[in-house]
Structure 1
Amino acid sequence: MGADKQTVNAQRVWKLTASLLSGHSAVPNQPFLPDLQSGLASDLPLAIEKVLNTIVQTVPCQGAWLAIRRGESLDIQAEWNDSKAKNLSLLIDTNPILRRVNRSLTELIIPRGHPNWETLPVGPMKPATKVWVGLPLVIGQRLIGVIALWRQSEFSRNELGQLRDLASRVSPSVEVLVTFSEMAAHLRRLGLLNDFVLTVSSAQSLDQVARRMFGLLARAFNTELIALFLRSSDGRVLRDYRMLEGKLNVLNVSLAGHSIQPVLKEARVRRVMDAVKDGLVPVFKGARSVLIVPLKYRGQAIGVLIIENLHAEAFSQYDEHLMVVITSHMAGLIEYTRLREEAEGRARSLGLIHEVVQQVIGLNDKKEVAHITAELVAQYFKYELAAILLVDDTGTFFIQGIGGTQAATVQMALAEHQNNEFIIPDGVTGYVSRTGESVLTNDTNQEKLYKPIKGWEAHSEICVALKDGENILGIIDVESREQNAFSHNDLIAMESLAGILASVISSANQYQKLQETIRQLRAIEIELNSRMEAQRSAENRLIQAAKLAAVGEMAAGIAHELNNPLTTVTGFSELVLEELPADSAHRDDLEMVLREARRASDVVHRLLDFSRQGERIRTRADLNEVVNDVIALTRHLIQTNGVNLTLELSDSLPWVSIDRNQMKQVLLNLIHNALQAMPKGGELFVNTASAVRAERDWVIMAVKDSGIGILPINQDRIFEPFFTTKGDSGGTGLGLSVTYGIVTDHGGSIDISSEPDKGSTFTVWLPI
């Protein structure tokens, strides 16, 4: 990808790599093959089509196709005069002809009348067709593809020879094209994953998560037919997210009987190439292709993501795999976001209760208490109607406080009743006022008790009683025009509020008890804020882990693809240098090539170290022994850098479960980092000790230097992959990322304390 944007030297490296892979000279002597330096190399279907067209022009035929091997199947990438073969995937083991080609790795000629004529991979043939030829594309002893041609007359011996020669010359270039395509697809996948991590993972609400995710997917798949269905925590409500006319539409509906319910229950990935042929009813009218991916968190389906397209066969297996990866990340993010929203909802409930208590404490006017409470309920939860009804001495209920956007409408309707009575005897309010039992309904059409008021009809309602022992003092009634507007947490909040409100109304003598309640609520609020802060910290760690995972996957893919070509460049450069005269004009250039190749190889090895940090062998060990081993290795380096070393190791240090080699790598990275921060010498302190944090025992290892320090603006990014403050002086930005990954993999953490021009301290915490 982007070959035309590479430097001249980079293009030469790619050209040399391609020539070495194909076993031919780097000078292009096969003009009919795609030039790897052109943009054609990044477009596999177009490049394969060009290869096939060249073959067809060389040896005339009636029809042809070219298939690339993908695992145990052959995917037809190009066809000539055979539209039915387009995009077909052929299983090798299920077809006797393909099976023979795979085993023999030689061409196979099938004339009409042959026993296998009826089993041709893509058939049936036209009546005039007389012969079919299958040519294997082979690298070493490995089948990488098949070219099939057929026509009305037999192929001559000369033509068959030409075809064999073409197949042998095409194979290396096809191999390189496939490799380029896979690398490009891999990079696109990592790019989308990176966008997901950077944009979606930073969202603060479920609606924001959905909006950002829809934007990414719409650009990636060129469709706005995207729907997300999330099941509520209690499994009763389904939240339906869709993009309609460029805007996010959110609807809460009942899960029972919904068409998505069996999809959630099945929790299976499905890729439907043509919904019309498969008899599947799509979410969006007119959609042909459907990709269904469940969102699973800890083995349970919490939702399903559906992407549709108006065209058939719009989604590939690669798209399916990509969405599985994205939804695996997204499921955890959604669950964490949902937990945070629930925590914020509880915080609002506690805030409401706290505010009500603060404002009504000491008031003796029950009507004023009810009015303040109704206004606060509507303000905190944005309910369309919040009403407080209190019973008088005659046992009649009257509205004493009302709030919300529909308050005026209800008051106008009640004005027709001279006594302003809101209680409907056979309705929800009448039932609660008689029994004292709470009612929560999210679909009033299904609630027999619900009776609408003139001018106002709700679809969701919560009604709770204000009780002092067995006495009912009043009720709290909240309503919404939307279905499924309330959750169980809302009911709990209203019941909690009702209990406190009943206490205020029943007796002003409860003042002291309510003051204690205030103190308890403040303590709960502090605890909740602490938990929310811990939740935000956990989310930040999740985002950091997702970044490391995405970069690690990218590092492994790129490193493996580059390692072999770099080894070849290094080896051949060394051989040429050995044979080149000392006074050759090309020696300096070749030596520069060798140096740069070795430097690139070193970066590759660092990438591999970052993506897979070796075999993990953890044992109970003395961390002091690890420190002593590393100091023995680096003492000379420390001294030659003009640095004074101070070593303070605890004599009673508990043993910890560690991978000794990995922990040595951690300390080596920290010491090298410290030495680089003291180019003119300085003081280096290394110490170990026992410590207690968060009611848990830990072993700590600290590395302190007197170097240049780290700017505050860079401290939050110091552990990010590829982030370095060294500029042109060296460093890939992987050392501290590797260190962070090893420590967190051990269940520990690493802290940094630094001041510019005063030095830095890195403290590693390991659990005992």
Structure 2
Amino acid sequence: MQRLSENPNTLLALYRISQAASSANTPRDAYIVIIEELQRLYDPHAAAICLINPNTSLLEIDYALGYPPNLPELAIHPGKGISGRAAFNGEPILCNDVETDPRYVKLIEGVRSKIAAPMIAGGQIIGALNVDRDHVDGFTEDDLDNLVHIANEASRVLQSVWRKRQLVMQSSQLNALIEVGQSIVSKFEIQSLWQTVTEAAHQLTGAGLCTLQLYESKEKKVSLQTVFPENLEFLDMVGDIAVTESLAGSAIRTKRQVEFSNITTPDYRDLHDVPHDSEVTSCLSTPMIYEGKVIGIINVFTRERHRFANSERRLLQAFASLAAVAAQNAELYSRVFNSEERLRKSERLTTLGLLSAEIAHEIRNPLTVIKLLFSSLDLQYPESDPRNKDKQVIREKIDHLEEIVSKVLSFGKAPEGIFTHWDIDDLIADTCLLVRHKMGQLKIDLRHHASSRKARVNGNKGQLQQVLLNLIINATDAMPKGGILTITTKVEQIERRSVVALYIEDTGSGIPENLVARIFDSFLTGKAEGTGLGLSIVKRILRSHHGDISVTDTSEHGTTMRIELPFVR
């Protein structure tokens, strides 16, 4: 057998094929170079690059010379035909008369002799190269030996091109993941978020159909939320179903991705969330997991039978994790929004209570005078005199009015609430977590500098958070174009006693000089829609906690508020 080093034509072919590793941008570019060199070396009747399809496990002709254009129809099982046998056994084959060889499977006309060599990459057979001639005894052992070398180099080149394409694809997917991630984390309306997640999953994978289901752990049910492309009939038909009747059940139980290679078989007919009428074949179910709990499932369906590569799996898992975090962000945002609404409602109710109390207080004084004067008149009438009855009615109505006034004044008093020991920095951290997305939207950098020692206070958590939220909202109103809001905790010594001091510092426009002295008065406001009660309520709450609030500094560069509360050891 002629050694490779003694065949300059083969060496040149190997060199040209090796160059395709760097010059080819797609596998097709490499195929063209490989077939051109086979044509130059062998002047064949036909030649083909046959690769094993990972999804079907069939040997398919990816690129060929002298074969008809309907190449996908020429797929065969490894082990059948001469090329299939070479791919199955990993051994080259020389056949100088195909009509006498039982292994030969006729695919095209005119073939009389054939050589085939396996293509091996990374120790795994990926396909075979075959070359055909139209006459008997068309090849020698040297021809077969050269084809083995060509097949080895072609395998190395294709593996390099595939890796390069995979890197490009992964880079593209990463960019797409970042883009869709930015899109979904900015969604705070939950149903809009699910729609965006489903569309983004479809965009990332190019799948035929994508669905998103939420998991109700207490009821052991899944509910179909969105389908893309939109299919309202399927959405309405599926609705809420038991986990045991769902395709998503396996992913929920295992908390892992589950691949279904063929959902068109009868085994899947009883699963209500399988879109049987959508012409889909394979599915990958990916759980959305947050803090170890499954909150939902993203299902990606392909129209053709498909084996999901590890890169696709990792991409979808990362995307599902992003979606789970975005869902929690939306929930937190909803809580912040509701907290603000409750705060505003509380302010309106407090306004009504204070107005009622002030009116009742003003009525009580003249009512007391009327009662005293009426008693001093000492009106005495006979029982038969109608004026005696009128006198009794007047006395009863005065007592009734006094009772009403007392009730209004009593109702207007703020409840003391339940006081407990709290670490003030933990309470501040919880409050900052609630408002962090709102701060991000307003381009405000919220910073919290905790005390160097444990700062405990005795108070009502809800009321103290109301104080913090009110001050944070006021600070954001002063920074419409964004800025920095800093909350600093210190333990200070004042007149031989320890106090917890909170400094809330913003970079806003400051408080007008004429309002600083009266900033905590009721009904004083600089906002068109304000009630003027926010800071007065803050001061009243803090005083009920044996604390206080003051303005320590204000200018056009910002304002600093100081809260003082008793330190609890």
Q: TM-score, normalised by structure 2?
A: 0.48
Relative contact order: is structure 1 or structure 2 higher (C-alpha 8 Å, sep ≥ 6)? 2
Please give the TM-score of this superposition, normalised by the length of structure 1.
0.36
Computing the radius of gyration over CA atoms, which structure comes out larger, 1 or 2?
2
